[in-house]
Amino acid sequence: MKRSIAILLVLVMLFSLCACGSGGQNSANTNTDTSNTENTNVVPEPEPEPEPPKPKFYNPLSGEEVEEDISNLRPIGIMLNNISYAMPMHGNSEAEILIEMNVEGNITRMFGVFSQITSKNSKIGSIRSARPYYLDWVLAFDGVYMSVGGSGTAMNNIQKRGVTHINGNVNTEIYYRDQDRKAAGYAYEHTMFTTGQKFEDGYAKLDIRKEHEGAYDYGLRFTDAAQTSAGAAATAVTVSMNSKKTTLFDYDSASKNYLISEHGDKFVDGNTGKQVAVKNVLALYIKYRHEYSGSTTLLADMTGGKGVYMCEGKMIDIEWSLAEGKGLTLKKADGTALELMPGHTFICCPDASSGKVDAH
C-alpha cells in the first residue's frame, strides 16, 4: 500500500514538471511573437512634399516659352540695312520680329525688333539711318530705337515725339565700324555694327528707362492652332514691296516655317550662313507718299489698313491698326482677333497702290 502511494506521488511530480516545461516554452514563443509584432508596427518616415511646379514664362513678341520673365523689358528696335550690295545682314535671325518697309529710291530697310539684346547675341547690322514712320513701330511697342542718325524729318520727330534713341553718331561705345568689311570693299555707310556684348556693356551705362511702366500689351495674341486652315494656298509667295523690290517666301512643310529670299538669293544671317526662317508672315498694305522740303522724304500712313496673313502654307485676309502705347492690333475678316503661331514673325509693308501679294 505504501509502495503504491509512493509511485503515485512520483507520477504526480513528473507530470507537474512536464507541465512547467511546456508552459515555459509557450511563454518564450509568446515573447518572440510580441517582438515580431512590434517590428512590423514601426511608423514609416513621412514622404517629402513634392516641389511646386515652376511658373512658365513667355516671350511677348513671339509667344514662345522662355526661362525667365522678360515681359517688362522694353524691346530694342534696330534699323537694318537691306540694300543688295550691303548683304549679308547679321543678327537678322535673332530678332523676334522683322519689319520691311520702303524707303526712298524704291529700296527697303528692315527694322529688327529684339525682346532683349545680351552677350548671347552675335554681331548685328549693318545699321543705317532712321526714317519717320519707323518711329510709329517704336512708340507702339514702347521700345528703344537704334539707328545711325536719320533723315531730317526723322530726327526732328524723334525729339518731338519723345522717342528713346541710341544714336550711332553719339553713343559710339555701343557701335563700331567693321574693319573687315572696309577691307572687303564695302562702302563706309555699310560698315556700322554692334555686338551683343558691346550693347550689353554700353546699355547698362545709359540713363534711360529700360522697362515698361507697368504691364504692357503689345497687341499680339498667340495660339497653338494655325488660323489659316480655311485660307487660300500660300506655299510660294511673292510680295512686291514697290515697282522694283520683291521679297519671296517659300513654305517648308518639314519645319512648318517660311524660308525668305530677296535680291535673287537666299536671305541669310551672316553670323550662321543659314537662310532666315519664320513661322508667321504678315503683309500690311501701307499708303506711302513723298514730301519735299529741301530734299525728298518718304512718309507713310501708319494708322492701319488691310493686309494678309500667311502661316503653314495658307493665307487669309486681315485688317490691322497701329497706335502709340497700344501695339499692333490684328483682326480677321470677320472682325475677331487674329492669333499668331508661337515663333518669329516677318512683317512686310508693301505700297498700297503699287505693291501686291502673289501666292500659290
Which pLDDT score is estimated for 107? Answer: 96
Q: How many CB atoms lie within 10 A of CB 293?
A: 8
Distance (Å, rounded) from C-alpha 220 to C-alpha 223? Answer: 10
Cell 540695312, residue located: 81
Tell me, what amino acid is at 46?
P
Residues 43-98: pLDDT tens digits? 777 778 777 777 899 999 999 999 999 999 999 999 999 999 999 999 999 999 99
User: Which residue, 147, 143, 162, is CA-closest to 211?
Assistant: 143
**Residue 352 in 3-state DSSP?**
coil
Task: Give yes or no for a contact between 319 and 234, defined as CB atoms under 8 angstroms apart.
Answer: no
**Contacts (Cβ under 8 Å, ≥6 apart) of 232:** 314, 315, 316, 359
Distance (Å, rounded) from C-alpha 146 to C-alpha 244? Answer: 27
Q: Which residues of 95-125 are buried (b: 16+ CB within 10 A; e: fewer)?
A: bbbbbbbbbeeeebbbbbbbbbbeeebbbbb
Distance (Å, rounded) from C-alpha 196 to C-alpha 181? Answer: 19
**Contacts (Cβ under 8 Å, ≥6 apart) of 169:** 148, 149
Tell me, what amino acid is at 301?
D
Which pLDDT score is estimated for 339? Answer: 98
**Residue 6 in 3-state DSSP?**
helix
Cell 528692315, residue located: 110
**Contacts (Cβ under 8 Å, ≥6 apart) of 283:** 239, 307, 308, 310, 347, 348, 349, 350, 357
Which pLDDT score is estimated for 39? Answer: 55
Q: How many CB atoms lie within 10 A of CB 23?
A: 10
Which pLDDT score is estimated for 46? Answer: 79
Query: Which residues of the chain, if any, have pLDDT below 50?
Result: 1-12, 14-37
Q: What is the DSSP letter of 50?
A: P
Distance (Å, rounded) from C-alpha 30 to C-alpha 12? Answer: 27
Average pLDDT, the chain: 90
Domains of the chain: 57-359 (3.50.90.10)
Distance (Å, rounded) from C-alpha 278 to C-alpha 271? Answer: 17
Return the bridge partners of 330, or none: 320
Cell 535680291, residue located: 263
- Kindly state the cell numbers that stand for 84: 543688295
Cα three-residue angle 234-237-243, rounded to 5 degrees: 145
Q: What is the DSSP letter of 326?
A: T
User: Which residue, 344, 300, 338, is CA-closest to 318?
Assistant: 338
